[in-house]
Structure 1
Amino acid sequence: MKRIFLICLLFSLAGYCLAQEGTNFEDLTFKEALAKSQTTGKKLFVDCYTKTCGPCKYMVKFIFPLKECGDYFNSNYICIMKDMEEGDGIDIAQKYNVRIYPTYLILNHDGTVYCRLDGGAVSSPKEDFVQKVKDAIELAEANRKYSAGARDHSFLEKYINILRIHDKKRLQTVMSETMIQLGVNKLCEPENWTLIKTEVNNVDTPLFRYLVENRAAFCKQLGQQEVENKIISVYSEEFRVLKMMGIDFDKRMTDLKQFEKDHYKSALPLRYRMLFFYIINKEQKDRANEILKVLQNINKELPDEADRMSVLRELTGFERIANQQQIEKASTYLQEISNNLQPNNANYVQGLITRIKK
């Protein structure tokens, strides 16, 4: 009997030790947790969950019990878990505008937000949740330093690298705020131009607009093809990704017409793609003849077959806006276009003719 008792005791102790390896979530009210945070000098970590949240349950079962989580969180934080739909969790959800679950709040002693991870769950121990929290803290601290006015070169270089990994949207803002003042000559230096090429991908950001408005000066430094490739690629990618979400097509096509005057070869096919999509998507039947005019002259205006095909792929649905006479004209023009294409592309156009005529 004594032996059985000892075995049970050993198992209990083993379970206790194992539990202690993981994150220690304390049974405290929010007010008590803040008070303990202040007494111990540790920040407060709040796991904001709901009972129906699958990722929340996964984190509690598989991530927070890990030894590396226990080592990090128990040493640095007072940790509590709060259901956002009951008790003082309701007030926490309202006060901190918690809408995504799980959300992890890291709070200062006075309850102000030091850092937060909205929807911060991981789906595997391999994702390293501790590192994810450390990265979020690094970003939050850098954001505060920047907002406080830090602009020295070493900080900005580090900050921009952090944003490149963790916050692409804010990166666009910070680059615009700090790089335009450098002027064209500095921006054309390899380090800065590489950053612009790889990271400035929003047509409406001030830095991209600065590039567009000063493209002639950039071309003198970098060559027209280099500048054209960057500018047109941003417009093209925007059209590919966001064309169903309300681009200002008139504004974009006005820009592209200006690029055509600068002899940007890629501007015209992109403008025609936008024109076709916009007219057909908006079902502007009174503009069907604009499409026919493009089809009539496309072999001459776009000698590159890839450019022609990129435009023709936006012709889907033309039959919805065209009358019978316009459909017949389009079919005739498409047949002429087909005669000058490689077999695979010709087959695509023949299929397009068939669909339009149905």
Structure 2
Amino acid sequence: MMKRFFLSSALCLGFALTGAAQTEFRHISFEEALTAAKAEGKKVFIDFYTSWCGPCKRLAANVFPTKEVGDYMNSNYVCLKLDAEKEGADLAKQFQVSAYPTLIVVDTDGKLLGSFAGYKEGKDFIAAVDALKDPEMNPERVKERYLAGERNGKLVFAYARYLMENNRSYQEGIRQSQQVIDEYFNSLSDSDRLKPENALMFTNYTYEYSNPRLKFMCDNVNAFDESLREDVKKMIAILYRQEAYRYLSGNHLVDEASRSAYDLFKKESAGLGYADDFAGMFRFIEKRAESDDAAYLAYCNENFPSLDDDAQSSLVSGVGEIFNTDTPEQKKAISAFIRKYIGTMSSQGVYMAAMSIYQLEK
């Protein structure tokens, strides 16, 4: 699951950085921010960061400069950015900040409305900040409302996010949140599923090719609101490519049932226009199915450069599942193959290759 999320994340398209639209952080005091917010009919948003915090730097580089986030933040908040160990230390203590980044929203009287910690981007970031404005969307209140039986898209998605962010086990948090989204999807008619307020269950909370929501997207892509169609199409493409990576990073065509499932996937991919994009991966997948370890490793040694960067990353990350690694000789041969190409790979590929080499040579 983690590998799938890593690869999916690598595929997601970023937003163009537009200086004029980026989040405007004002160089004023907290008291001045409260005064400005009252005059402008806004609330105050504070990003508490530290100089050594990696996720803080990612927020600054990848999230706050985007047009989507900037437009939302500038329209709704007077924004401050404070180093929690320097000029913002006293305020961080006042609001009991203990993790970084911590993002908070306060009203014009300086009363804390809500906060969350950690990195989010795009629509997830906006949804998380927006929820802080409304006391009814406070995480604990969201949980209370959901468990009392209330259901609507905004509440369900907020509760799913709550489950992911407040579970000590990442995998269990994902499982529980998916159960919530699955139940909501199954409770809706087709026409309700297509409503814009329910779009996040497709564009943000569908993670796997096997999920029925993907089939619904494929069957109804042109029935979605026009403003959502491109996002739906992007998610369909991400999930199909992710499934191709799954086949590439393992040895899955082992019986009639798995071959039939693969043939169906390949047919669907062609129907969606992905045949050319996936052609190289299909050759590797099918070569693995018809070859022993030695023959397939020889094929990889010769043809690895024909794969794109993400496919290369996927293949090297899965060598423990693709090949039998029971003998020192086989481990050495696989490691030699990875070392042969590691200098030509993308930064993500180098990371995955290094992890695989460590497992093979430790």
TM normalised by structure 2 equals 0.36
Which protein has the larger Cα radius of gyration, Structure 1 or Structure 2? 1
Greater RCO (CA < 8 Å, at least 6 residues apart): 2
TM normalised by structure 1 equals 0.36
